[in-house]
Structure 1
Amino acid sequence: MTTMHLYLNGETIEAKAGATLATILPDHPAGCSIAVLRPGTGAESKETAHLRFTTTAGDIVVELLPGVVLPVPTGDDLDANLRVHWEDKYAAAFGPFHADFVPDHQPYRYDRGVVALGCGGYDANTSYLMFSRLQHMADHGAAAGGAVLGTVISGLGIMNRWRNGDRITKIEHVFSSVDKTSATVTTDLSLKLEDGMQIFSEIRINAEGYDEDHGKIDTACTDSVEHLLFTMRNASYTVDRTASAYIRDHTEGRLNVPMERQKPRREGTVTVRTSGKSSGAVYIYTKDVPSNQHHTRTGTVTRGVELARFATAGTKLSVKVVPEQLDLRGLPLGEAVALAKSRGLRVFADNRDVAGRVVIDQKPATTLELLKEGKVELVTVALTEVIDVAFDYANAPLTIDLFRRVTGLKIYAIGSMPFFYNIDEEMYLFKPEFPSGVNIIPENVPKKSPPPYALAITNDARRARGMAGVRSVTNNEYGPTGEPFEGTNVIGRIIDVDKLPLIKEGATVFIREVKP
């Protein structure tokens, strides 16, 4: 056999005999796991309640309600006249075709994404499949109850592309593999491929409320969606917990996220925990479970839920969320303007010095709001007011995490803290606002004088806990914050040391992290 037929993320591809995972996935991120199902290993597949509609404008996936049978043929038997019969901003209808039901002559409410059976002129011989683009109330010639068949769970944006002349070319059932023992989860790209293998390398997520037509973006969930985009900004999902119905990524630690949309957690639903010790954790569901008052829906998996199903604790998965986060804070003004324009935004900045200014704030604040409004206002400061720092994660991870949280560096590429005092240009003190209930335990306490320009925090052993400081010279008795060594946690070093003497007392100092 010279050519192999494979299934990569649900699509059929061909590869030459002897090909490896690296052959078909040359750009796969290092360290991200891939699920591989070998043919003939006893893997079982079951027919799900999901149907894939192939249309001339793109594919969608519909989840049928329990017990519902689609009134048109599926698979290779599709011969119905499924063209766009009519379309407006509220709905698009495919047909006509014959169906057997009695129209109710009553209006019903249809949510966005609902698929229903209706007819024209209250004649079931001219029936059609109606896809609801927006929530609306209408009489579509449906049977009693509204004749809802199911819901679009993937490809909502495709519905907005349909125009007269578009048609449904194929309807097929979606099958899911249910035997985990048949799957190999690996990061070894040298794995040789076999004919008939199924490979799942990436999870794709459509953010809640996002629409390819930016004017139709729903911003009701913008804060929780921004959290999702932030946690997935590096295009990876680290599984720290698995259960029969979900996988979880809580590597960013506990973060506050508002409850914005409580909905049933179906297979492929993405939620964020909004309370408790796991607040901020991102969940991907592999089975249907009821809604929960502490979980807000932030997205839907449009491809690759199989990878989530086979993942184990400790694995890292490649994830792409649409849209990509747009956060300009911390960028030089010139880079920020270029990036914003590349995303189709009009830019309004408070300064024209694109080389000498750094963005410290953006309005609107979140990605969905920016894309919907199509413009951004940038607030900047002079580069001379921004100090770059480097952190010592290996020796002080806990204190660094606390410091990044209180300065804003945990979430944004630029943070800030008040400047407290300059002592003869030898010691510089800052006063970040640590909450009273936060413990700064001793960590990376120096045994001898730290080097010049080491950045340190006073720990709970001293009354001035939370003070940050830097010394320009060594001192054999006291650390960078003016406290004895046992009261000092060294967390990193200042890079822009020449800017320290320029800071005025009472000023706000902006800081950026420089990573190796």
Structure 2
Amino acid sequence: MRVFVDGKEIELDEKSSLGEALKAAGAKPAQGAIIGVVKGRGEQSLQTNSYWLNTTKGKLRIELLENDLQKIWHESINDIVSSEVRWASTSGVAFGPFSSSISFGREAHEYNRWEIVIGAAGFEAEKTQLIFVRRRHSAAYGVPAEGGLLAHVVGGKNTLDRLEIGDKILAIEPIVEWQDLTEKLATQDMTLPLEDGMEVFTEVQVELMEDAPYGAEFFLALTRGGTLKVDSVSSSYISSDQLLAEPIIFEHREPRLEGAVTVRTSGRGLGRIFIYKADRTSNPGHSVVGHVNAGMDMVKLAGPGQLVTVRVKPERIMLMGSKLSDALLLLKERGIEVEVDGQGGEDAVVVKQDPRATMEILKAKKVKLLTMPANRLVAIELYHDLAPKTLDYFRHVTGLKERPVGPLPVYFVYENTILFKPEIDAVSYKELLPENKPTGPIPAGSIGISNQVSKKIGLVGVRLVADKRYGPSGEKFEATNIIGRVLEPEKLKDVKEGETIYVLEVR
């Protein structure tokens, strides 16, 4: 029989399993990731009450309400096209005039932002207009007794605030949606029997944009393990919260078409990554960083909590944590000029790179590396399940959320205790409630952070010997959150105040 794996045609024996198909195709989905299986495709058109209004300032998407005013809309739609802004204020903006069969009154009504009202200017049906409400207010617009509410603005909302006198409606396009009738499933069952003609998808392929180097790097950081964890699903997108609340700048704006990859750069949901399953307008809070080139079926199959294998182009250039010799070899293979600042030789490791963004390195064709002796790069293990909120703070202040290596400046050294003061001061906006407090002797090499019970909240500490009374940051147990352990404590025995060590998280 014939099946397709990631678009590649494969000949198999009858009743072959999913695992056999993947082996024959050489496909290797990430461990724990779902595999999409599609059997038969189909769709049917669905008429909607949604329309795109193309204006001289951009597009507005509106959704008509189910009421009698729809009749006036359909009768007048040809006249509404080419209508101009008659007036604009902080309360609203009106397009018109056009003649209609509207029945109107003189009473005032209350309106809310994003509502669209149909009314008779000067209480004359020949001067009917559409009023787009910008803020909540009361007014007498010559509307029917029920209030004249025709529709809501549901897309392109930023366009509404930019409309002014002189702007026009250039075109009105009805939106036709399609109901997907495809038989499909997401599975990890390698024994699943396949049938002739089935399609199998193992990965999503994403190509990143040169115009969004920092957003692209953000996405590369999110998918550095070769997967994307789906945290939320809607009819129009899937999203991942693994870098939620991490700051990222806005770089590129364009319509969020199917397959667009965006990052939320402001407001609620900062740092959230989206992949779109349906077209949406551009948004000033969403920076587009890439597009899906293949595997949209996987995007549409994925559910909350599932992992999706992701292959990103270009591959990330992340040299931090690598031996200098390995980094130089990789850069030579990719034709990138390199400047090394710091320790050389076989013992050197890379702890910083400039530029840090892959797209910037590829564009400049050169990179500067900061190196240190390997004994200043310390491997650590973190207890995510035991102290997730404290680790959110720790990974944020060290940069470990986005990079494999992070700095820890040495603040104070006494006896067998080393205190570190992170470069980023985040105690004002990252909670450090008591979490995973010690209940017995602290093992040597434990890493602790002073919680909000302590006056020195946010300090990171490591104790090189076991202790029955105090935590790694020198605090009593109730003021200490244990987040992990140092795997190479011998590297910390000779550190001095004022120097910076680098930590490498072993996952």
* TM, length-normalised to structure 2: 0.69
What is the identity, as a one-letter code, of the residue corresponding to 1:291? S
- Matches of 1:482 and 1:7 in 2, distance apart? 60
Partner residue in 2 for 1:329: 320
Note if contact 1:430-1:468 (Cα within 8 Å) is conserved in structure 2: yes
Q: For residue 302 of structure 1, report the CA deviation from its aligned partner.
A: 1.0
1:308 equivalent to 2:293? Answer no
What is the identity, as a one-letter code, of the residue corresponding to 1:460? Q
1:36 equivalent to 2:37? Answer yes
Q: For residue 430 of structure 1, report the CA deviation from its aligned partner.
A: 1.6
Count residues with an aligned counterpart: 371
- Matches of 2:222 and 2:341 in 1, distance apart? 29
Q: Which moved more, 1:364-373 or 1:180-189?
A: 180-189
1:74-96: CA deviations, max 9, x gaps?
xxxxxxxxxxxxxxxxxxxxxxx
1:196-220: CA deviations, max 9, x gaps?
21222221111113xxxxxxxxxx3
Partner residue in 1 for 2:15: 18
- Matches of 1:193 and 1:229 in 2, distance apart? 34
Q: Write out aligned runs for 1:431-446 (5 A).
A: 431-432=421-422, 433-437=424-428, 438-446=430-438
Which one of 300, 308, 319 corresponds to residue 310 of structure 2?
319
Q: For residue 178 of structure 1, report the CA deviation from its aligned partner.
A: 5.0
Distance 1:449 1:331, change over 3 A: same
Distance 1:11 1:452, change over 3 A: closer
1:453 equivalent to 2:451? Answer no
1:295-348: CA deviations, max 9, x gaps?
111111111112212222222211111011111112121121122223232322
1:344-382: CA deviations, max 9, x gaps?
323222357332111122122211111122222211112
Partner residue in 1 for 2:473: 481
- Matches of 1:8 and 1:375 in 2, distance apart? 38
Partner residue in 2 for 1:80: none
What secondary structure is seen at the aligned counterpart in 1 of 2:12? strand
Distance 1:177 1:195, change over 3 A: farther
Which one of 369, 392, 399 corresponds to residue 378 of structure 1?
369
Partner residue in 1 for 2:380: 389
Note if contact 2:257-2:280 (Cα within 8 Å) is conserved in structure 1: yes
Distance 1:422 1:511, change over 3 A: same
Partner residue in 2 for 1:7: 4
What is the identity, as a one-letter code, of the residue corresponding to 2:403? Y
* TM, length-normalised to structure 1: 0.68
Partner residue in 2 for 1:427: 417
What is the identity, as a one-letter code, of the residue corresponding to 1:19? S
Partner residue in 2 for 1:187: 188
Q: Write out aligned runs for 1:166-185 (5 A).
A: 178-179=179-180, 182-185=183-186
**Runs of at least 5 residues in structure 2 that lack an aligned partner in the other structure:** 46-53, 55-176
Note if contact 1:207-1:298 (Cα within 8 Å) is conserved in structure 2: yes
- Matches of 2:488 and 2:38 in 1, distance apart? 52
1:233 equivalent to 2:224? Answer yes
1:225-282: CA deviations, max 9, x gaps?
1111111222212211111111111223321111111100111111111123322222
**Considering only aligned residues, what root-mean-square deviation do their CA atoms show, in Å?**
2.2
- Matches of 2:190 and 2:38 in 1, distance apart? 15
Partner residue in 2 for 1:490: 482
Q: For residue 177 of structure 1, report the CA deviation from its aligned partner.
A: 9.2
Distance 1:45 1:180, change over 3 A: closer
What secondary structure is seen at the aligned counterpart in 1 of 2:2? strand
What is the identity, as a one-letter code, of the residue corresponding to 1:446? P
Q: For residue 457 of structure 1, report the CA deviation from its aligned partner.
A: 0.8
Partner residue in 2 for 1:400: 391
What secondary structure is seen at the aligned counterpart in 2 of 1:196? coil
Distance 1:253 1:326, change over 3 A: same
- Matches of 2:421 and 2:311 in 1, distance apart? 38
What secondary structure is seen at the aligned counterpart in 1 of 2:283? coil
What secondary structure is seen at the aligned counterpart in 1 of 2:380? strand
Distance 1:35 1:436, change over 3 A: closer
What is the identity, as a one-letter code, of the residue corresponding to 2:480? T
**Runs of at least 5 residues in structure 1 that lack an aligned partner in the other structure:** 48-65, 67-175, 210-219
- Matches of 2:300 and 2:467 in 1, distance apart? 56
1:398-419: CA deviations, max 9, x gaps?
2122112112222212111221
What secondary structure is seen at the aligned counterpart in 2 of 1:306? helix
Partner residue in 1 for 2:111: none
- Matches of 2:178 and 2:19 in 1, distance apart? 24
- Matches of 2:471 and 2:221 in 1, distance apart? 35
Distance 1:325 1:243, change over 3 A: same
- Matches of 1:423 and 1:402 in 2, distance apart? 25
Partner residue in 2 for 1:411: 402
Partner residue in 2 for 1:202: 203
Distance 1:325 1:242, change over 3 A: same
- Matches of 1:197 and 1:494 in 2, distance apart? 49
Which one of 497, 502, 507 corresponds to residue 510 of structure 1?
502
Note if contact 2:343-2:371 (Cα within 8 Å) is conserved in structure 1: no
Q: Write out aligned runs for 1:345-356 (5 A).
A: 345-350=336-341, 353-356=344-347
Q: For residue 459 of structure 1, report the CA deviation from its aligned partner.
A: 0.6
Aligned-pair identity (%)? 35
What secondary structure is seen at the aligned counterpart in 2 of 1:489? strand
